[in-house]
Amino acid sequence: MPVAFDYELCDGCGVCSAVCPGDVIYMKGERGEKLPFNRYPDECWHCGSCRQDCPQKAITIVFSPDMLCI
């Protein structure tokens, strides 16, 4: 997954999902306990906006083997 969430740090504020320019990150779970996930991982542009804007610093960008190894 391009965007790795640390769910220990994440407080479910939803900023990552809101700013994602590709509509890639969605929130799931019950009201008040929603957490982000990569709904369309193949469509991520790796722009890093989610990581920059995450107030909890809970996001790491992980590149896939095809991008790292060709």
Partner 1 sequence: MGKNDQEPIRLKTDVLVIGGGLAGTNAAMGAAEAGASVVVLDKGKVQRSGDIGGGVDHFMAYLSTGPEWDTRDAFLGYVEKVGRGTNHLSHIESLFCDELPDAIERMARIGNPLTQPDGSFYRTKSMGQPGPYWINFNGKLLKPRLARAVSKLGCKVLSRVMTVDLLLDSGHVAGAVGFHVHSGRFYVIEANATVIATGNTNRIYENPRGNPFNTWLCPYNTGDGQVMAFTAGAALTNMEYMRLTMLPKGFAAPGFNALTGMGGRFMNSLGEYYMEKNHPLGNRAPRYACVMNSLEEMRAGRGPIFIDCRGLTDKELDHLETTLGYDKDTLPDYLAQRGEDLRKQPVEIMVSEGMQAGPTECNGSGIKIDGNAASTLPGLFAAGDAADHNRCVHGAVTGGYRAGKSAARHAKSLVGTPREPATITRGRMEQFMAPLHRESGTPYWQIEGTIRKIMSEHVGMARTDLGLRTGLQKLERLESHLDDMKVSNLHELMRSRETRSILTVGKMMATAALFRTESRNRPYHYRLDFPETDDTNWSGLVVVQKRGTGFECSLEHIVYSSH
User: Nearest approach, Cβ of 10 to partner 1 (angstroms)?
Assistant: 18
Neighbours of 64 (CB within 10 A): 13
Q: Do 20 and 51 contact (CB within 8 A), yes or no?
A: no
Number of residues that bind partner 1 (CB under 8 A): 27
Task: Report the residue from 1, 6, 29, 46 that binds partner 1 according to the rule CB under 8 A.
Answer: 46
Looking at residues 23 to 42 of the shown chain, list those that interact with partner 1 (rule: CB under 8 A).
23, 39-40, 42
- For 64, residues 6+ apart whose C-beta sits below 8 A from its C-beta are 2
Q: What are the tokens at 4?
A: 């790795």
User: Which positions lie near partner 1, rule CB under 8 A?
Assistant: 18-23, 39-40, 42-49, 51-53, 61-63, 66-70
